A and B are shown apart, each in its own frame.
Chain A
Amino acid sequence: MASSTINSIREHVPEIATEDQEHRPVAIDIRELSRRYNDQPAVRELSLQIQSGEVFGLLGHNGAGKTTTIRLLTGLIAPDSGSSRVLGMDSMTHGADIRARTGVLTETPALDSRLTGRENLQFFADFFDIDPSRARQRIDFLIDAFDLNERESDRVGSYSRGMHQRLALARAMLHEPELLLLDEPTPGLDPIATRIVHLMIRAFRSEGGTVLLCTHNLEEAERLCDRVAVLERGQLIAIGNPRELTSRIVDQQIEIEIAPRYRDRARTAIIGAVPGVTVAAAENLVRVDGVPRERIPDLVQALAGAGIPVYRVTPRVSSLEDVYFALHEDGRAS
């Protein structure tokens, strides 16, 4: 059932577009937004812009300010200073209009456990003034797309966590919003449920929708997001596309395989050839951190010149996770 659903969604999802997004209209424009709770800063002078049609990841630990940002954008809470515009409207003065065109997945699914899955969707369709026949079509489609058909008439209290999350996401997409604000959409989901959620996000994006994805899941962010921003204690500490951030923030790391008896000589040769790098050696592997890509041939040449046989040189591909941890280690150090 789930795999057929995934296949049917996949047919409608083109690969992530690579076109230049600079010229698209701005969907979210945040300027120096700040908000405190009881003297604790939740968001500090946050400024960023998200283009229409973009999947934008907001990364950070618990309490980094991700949920507060969503609340500020939708006009649920007021900022202490700064401003935000969503779909061209001011969050403070047009909260209701913004919410009418935005789907929000809250961190807890916030479903009524006493109603069935279908009833939960019908209940919310009324709040968004969806024409009843259109609502029925839309609910049928979403129940099918999120693989909830077999349990749609069961009370939500009997659903698994994954089903809760899928139903909550279906509810967020019920009124065909232009913008999705997703607060941790996949924690605790099994791989199939996660895949369904990811495919739906990509399908939404392929139809021109914009997504702000708040997540801890760095692999998810790397897979889905065109750009990401990293928040720490409410402050923006990095922004860019995942690849760009990786090359900018994480030092290049390579692994060199040699015979174990050459370890010390190899360390001396490497530091001599490329000063400033960090070398760690264990068994037959030497790991070098912080070597610029253009200096790798010098390094290999130095090893060969020192009479050390080199069996393999492997650049280690850094991930968004490396970026994230590098940034947060810097944050803690500073």
Chain B
Amino acid sequence: MFYPLIAVSILMLIVLPLSNTLIAANTGAPAGVMAQWDSIMQRLPGDMALLIDPALSDAQRMILLGNVYVLAPFYLLIPLLVAMIIAADTFAGEKERRTLEALLYTPMSDRELLLGKLLAAWIPAVTVSIAGFLLYSVIVNLAAWPVMGEMFFPNAMWLLLVFWVGPAVAGLGLGAMVLVSSRVDTLQEATQLGGGIVLPFVLLIIGQATGVLYFSIALVVALGAGIWVINGVLLALTVRRFRRESLLLSSS
């Protein structure tokens, strides 16, 4: 179950930034790609000045565009997927393996049980995302050093993305999966049904890549705030509906 997740993480945190950086560093930015990017960027609001700074070489601009902006929404898939997969395992997976009943006979209260399960998925998701971010930072700075000549990553937007939006996204994946898991009996059903939550993030990726939206600091702050509000509502719903009895009866 964790192998696809490891593969996706390696792709997003290592393969994509490394290929973008190495291509830019070794071949220079392909002219067609940069022309397309310039036309997209010119349609965007004023704070894009840095990215179209004529003082930067094409290779430098490609490294900046790719690693700092295009891959930013991809990064959000890491906390989302890790949280969803662990949550599916701890709720639907326990039902499927029939290990839940023994836990229900412990003295834990319903609230402790819920909190324990939520944290058991949220903490690893946030930890893995932060560790992934550190790895990403090291890789892009090292690989781009010959071209950039300085440590260019992370910027303020990425720090907000990692420490403000990332934990919120992990919470969202978790909340969605807890709601789904209470209605299904197997891990497979849970991951299939809960997978729908990935869709808005795919739209973010497409939006950013096509220039429909741009991960500015304001957008990232607003995105994080919106997701935290949704998380609050999901958590309140889950706490209200979480009962030992319903877990037990749906697992028997």
Contacts and interface: CB of A to CB of B under 8 A. Distances in A.
Nearest to B246: A77
A141 interface: no
Contacts of B127: none
A99 B106 contact: yes
A124 interface: yes
A76 B245 contact: yes
Interface stretch (B23-31, B93-101, B133-141, B190-198): B93-101
A106 B106 contact: no
A96 B108 CA distance: 6
A113 interface: yes
Contact of B100 (A71, A110, A113, A168): A110
Contacts of A37: 249
Interface in A151-184: 168, 171
A77 B98 CA distance: 18
A113 B249 CA distance: 22
A76 B102 contact: no
A108 interface: yes
B102 A99 contact: no
A102 to B, nearest CB: 8
A219 interface: no
A111 B108 CA distance: 18
A258 B106 CA distance: 62
A128 B106 contact: yes
B117 interface: no
A311 interface: no
A251 interface: no
A74 interface: yes
Contact of A124 (B100, B101, B102, B249): B102
Contacts of A104: 102, 105
Contact of B98 (A76, A110, A128): A110
A49 to B, nearest CB: 22
B248 A110 contact: no
A100 interface: yes
A74 B102 contact: no
A128 B108 CA distance: 9
Nearest to A99: B107
Given A37-B249, A108-B98, A171-B102, A76 B107 contact: no
B106 A78 contact: no
A111 B105 CA distance: 13
Given A106-B101, A110-B99, A112-B99, A76 B108 contact: no
B249 A77 contact: yes
A106 B107 contact: no
A97 interface: yes
B249 A127 contact: no
Given A108-B98, A111-B99, A76 B105 contact: yes
A74 B103 CA distance: 13
Interface in A98-122: 99-100, 102, 104, 106, 108-113
B104 interface: yes
Interface in B140-166: none
B106 A76 contact: no
Interface string B98-131: 1111111111110000000000000000000000
Interface in B65-109: 97-109
Interface of B: 97-109, 244-245, 248-249
23 contacts: A76-B104, A76-B105, A76-B244, A77-B244, A77-B245, A77-B248, A99-B107, A102-B105, A104-B105, A106-B101, A106-B105, A108-B98, A109-B102, A110-B98, A110-B100, A110-B102, A111-B99, A111-B102, A127-B106, A127-B107, A128-B106, A128-B107, A168-B102
Given A106-B105, A110-B101, A128-B107, 16 more contacts: A71-B248, A76-B248, A77-B244, A77-B248, A77-B249, A96-B107, A96-B109, A99-B105, A99-B106, A100-B107, A104-B105, A110-B100, A110-B102, A112-B97, A112-B99, A124-B102
Shortest beta-carbon contacts, A-B, top 9 = A110-B102, A100-B107, A127-B106, A104-B105, A96-B107, A77-B245, A99-B107, A106-B101, A108-B98
